[in-house]
Structure 1
Amino acid sequence: MQAAVVEKIGEVAYRDVPSPKPNKYQALVEITCGATCNSTDYRIVHGNLPWKMDYPCILGHESVGRIISLGSKVKNFEVGELVLRPTAVYPGEKLDGYYSGWGGFAEYGLVTDVKAMIDDGANKSSINPYAFLHQKVPSSISPADAVMIITLRETMSWVDALGISFNSSVLIIGDGPVGLAFVQCAKIHGANPIIIVGHRGERLNLARIIGANYTINSHGIDFVNEVKNIIGPEGVDFLIDCTGDQSTLNASLNVVKPSGKAAAYGTPKVPPTGPAPNDSRIMRIKTDEPGAHNEIVSLILDGRINPKLFYSESLPLSRISEAIDRIGGKKALAKIIIDVREER
């Protein structure tokens, strides 16, 4: 099969690799498409994440596909179902010499029937944690729209954990796809005002469409003062930093209420841009994608979330190098759909 392979730091290519072989608790999935995680995928390719990655690895952690066959012990999936996060190689495992860069940008992948394993006596701790992220999507949602659920449910789980609610004031730092998703989820919770800080006019305009009350272009200005002019001296209830820039997070804490809460969603930059903040207002949040899955699906089906707002273009898997260059060069307005099946 074909897959996006990071062969070494700085080099990503469209390569032929072995197809994954499901065990008795796994289903084989024909992957339809994926979506770029505009920060993490780029940083995996260029080797500047704050944890060690092994190469060569198969890239992609936002993927969706249809089940085409079932292992003998699979009870909770059916052929034809659309499922999230199929992977050619699970994190911590290898596929004939290829490590996992989460493994979703490939023609085929696996999902694991975790419930069947547990029902048969498996201990949760013995199951690869990534296997708990395979949820079904209704067939009425297109694959490209479905893959947006991954980021939306992740950000919704953070909004839920922070306790953002009606009339909460929220400051979001970063206007990438994740920042836009946080605007959407905060809006769903009734937050007001929602302020987003970024540096691209087109994305800030999109943030307004999604639900931001105020947008601040940080180019050449002190955004902290701009936030104070909007919110007043008391500060905001909630801060969400999506940039991973420690110096920006430290500055942003100056406009958070003493009783407020903050969360650093963005993966820290390498090397660090400043000291790690030591502030009791910063919450340590564990993402709960499965817990927010049904909520996001219902919001899409009800028309309250338009997933098309979160991707802006599509490229075939064979042009993965171009896709990585586009997100690295800030040329993509939002996520890029990686179309695995376009060439067939």
Structure 2
Amino acid sequence: MSLPKTMLAAVLGEPGVIGTRRLPVPQVGAEDVLVHVRRASLCGTDLKIRSHQFFGGGGPATDPFVPGHEYAGVVAAVGSGVDEFQVGDRVVTEAHRGCMRCANCLAGAYTDCLNYGDRRKGHRVQGMTVDGGFAEYALNHVSTLYRLPDSVDFDSAVVLTTAGTVMHALHVLGSLIVGASVVVIGPGPIGLIGVQVARELGAQMVALIGTRDDRLDIGRNFGADLTVNSRESDAVEAVRRATGGQGADIVLECSGAPTAVDDALHMAKRSGKVVLVGFFDRPVLADLNHAVMNGITIETVRGEGAGSVARAVSLAGRGRLRTSDLVTHHFGLEDIAEAFDTYAERRGNAIKVMLDVSEDTEQSHAG
């Protein structure tokens, strides 16, 4: 297909400012795939990137810088060494590409790459350390893309990157979810998908803890057996009561709230497991002695590692994930500043705010 020389892209300005401008379409390297982006969505990390907090106060790596790490589209070009995809394939992205040469990457922990941010050694994170998908075209390493089933539309596909984070959180447990009691703290996009995934993987009981009744209602619709508004009730007591006083087998902390880690530890049973998924904006206090005395394991995950987006794509392809239900708003790429404000201020109960980056001219697909 014939490619244009320039594209519309969102770029960071001063902290708190994002706008659009025309940039050159990226050049494709031997192991690269150029994606014509159809949909891209915002997440909490993007708010930190807009404010430059994500960069440790030093600003983005390049100027101009294009954020965006959750996106899906159509393959527009492939590098000379790529035979896994062809032009016209519908794909969804995974944000992280490790260096694939350090000890962590070789062990499969590429989201914890020891060469994080070092492009010279091959490391990339779309929209965080290299330009991302808030643009008409985005350049991906071939290893960070997954072909979409025909049954998965682009709105549903974009949220599969978020679902990959949930899959990663469950992957590190090293145990089956079947028959387990699972608590999810935080009914944001990750937490709400966490409820769905835990249910689909056979959890015996799924509880959702949050502070907003409208989000808890969505969680019940997604299969939560127990929902607790922690502003109105003692969530730890509610979980223990629902588990016969023992506590839950697994607790996923997805909120990033300052008190949530301590709550998670006290919701877990003896020898239970807590996975920290959310990002915290400050140091937190937690009763680690309780964890030690009760043999509670604490795990952490960053992003959608361990090939977890592939698992999410598989589940969605079988009709087992309702990710498009989380999409509440659509904006054109040229309206990205308003999209960010809508997401940050939760206007209209915004959950997943979607950018319609380019028109879908391919054959329509069922959602």
Q: Sort the TM-score into its range (normalised by shorter chain).
A: 0.7 to 0.9
1:173 is displaced (CA, Å) by: 0.7
- The SS at the match of 2:307 is helix
* Partner of residue 121, structure 1: none
Once residues 245 and 49 of structure 1 are traced to their aligned partners in structure 2, the CA distance between those partners, rounded to angstroms, is: 18
* Partner of residue 172, structure 2: 161
* Partner of residue 71, structure 1: 79
* Partner of residue 80, structure 1: 88
- The SS at the match of 2:13 is strand
Q: 1:338 to 1:264 in 2, by over 3 A?
A: same
Letter matched to residue 245 of structure 1: A
Greater CA deviation, 325-334 or 272-281? 272-281
1:215 is displaced (CA, Å) by: 0.8
* Partner of residue 43, structure 1: 48
Q: TM-score, normalising length from structure 2?
A: 0.78
Residues 149-189 of structure 1: CA distance to partner in whole angstroms, max 9, x if unpaired? Answer: 21112212322332242221111110100000111111111
Residues 240-259 of structure 1: CA distance to partner in whole angstroms, max 9, x if unpaired? Answer: 11122342211331121121
**Pair 1:20 & 2:32 matched:** no
Once residues 199 and 256 of structure 2 are traced to their aligned partners in structure 1, the CA distance between those partners, rounded to angstroms, is: 23
Q: Is the 8 A contact 1:172 1:179 kept in 2?
A: yes
Give the counterpart of 1:29 among 21, 35, 51: 35
* Partner of residue 354, structure 2: 337
**Pair 1:106 & 2:118 matched:** no
Percent identity between the two aligned chains = 29
- The SS at the match of 2:46 is helix
Q: TM-score, normalising length from structure 1?
A: 0.83
* Partner of residue 304, structure 1: 320
Once residues 329 and 26 of structure 1 are traced to their aligned partners in structure 2, the CA distance between those partners, rounded to angstroms, is: 36
Give the counterpart of 1:135 among 124, 127, 146: 146
1:266 is displaced (CA, Å) by: 0.6
In the alignment of these two chains, the number of paired residues is: 320
Structure 2 unaligned spans of 5+: 1-6, 99-116, 121-126, 362-367
Q: 1:80 to 1:294 in 2, by over 3 A?
A: same
Once residues 258 and 110 of structure 1 are traced to their aligned partners in structure 2, the CA distance between those partners, rounded to angstroms, is: 46
Residues 225-267 of structure 1: CA distance to partner in whole angstroms, max 9, x if unpaired? Answer: 3323333421111111112234221133112112100011011
* Partner of residue 238, structure 1: 250
1:335 is displaced (CA, Å) by: 0.8
Structure 1 unaligned spans of 5+: 114-131
Q: Is the 8 A contact 1:247 1:275 kept in 2?
A: yes
Residues 277-328 of structure 1: CA distance to partner in whole angstroms, max 9, x if unpaired? Answer: 5745202446654633443333223222222222222111111111211221
Q: 1:41 to 1:30 in 2, by over 3 A?
A: same
> What stretches of structure 1 move > 6 A for 4+ residues in a row?
none
Q: 1:108 to 1:286 in 2, by over 3 A?
A: closer
Once residues 268 and 27 of structure 1 are traced to their aligned partners in structure 2, the CA distance between those partners, rounded to angstroms, is: 33
1:275 is displaced (CA, Å) by: 5.9
Q: 1:275 to 1:254 in 2, by over 3 A?
A: closer
Residues 45-87 of structure 1: CA distance to partner in whole angstroms, max 9, x if unpaired? Answer: 1233485663353111001111122222222210101122288
Q: Is the 8 A contact 2:187 2:215 kept in 1?
A: yes
Once residues 299 and 260 of structure 1 are traced to their aligned partners in structure 2, the CA distance between those partners, rounded to angstroms, is: 26
Residues 201-230 of structure 1: CA distance to partner in whole angstroms, max 9, x if unpaired? Answer: 221111111111111112244322332333
Give the counterpart of 2:267 among 255, 277, 289: 255
- The SS at the match of 1:283 is strand
Once residues 283 and 77 of structure 1 are traced to their aligned partners in structure 2, the CA distance between those partners, rounded to angstroms, is: 35
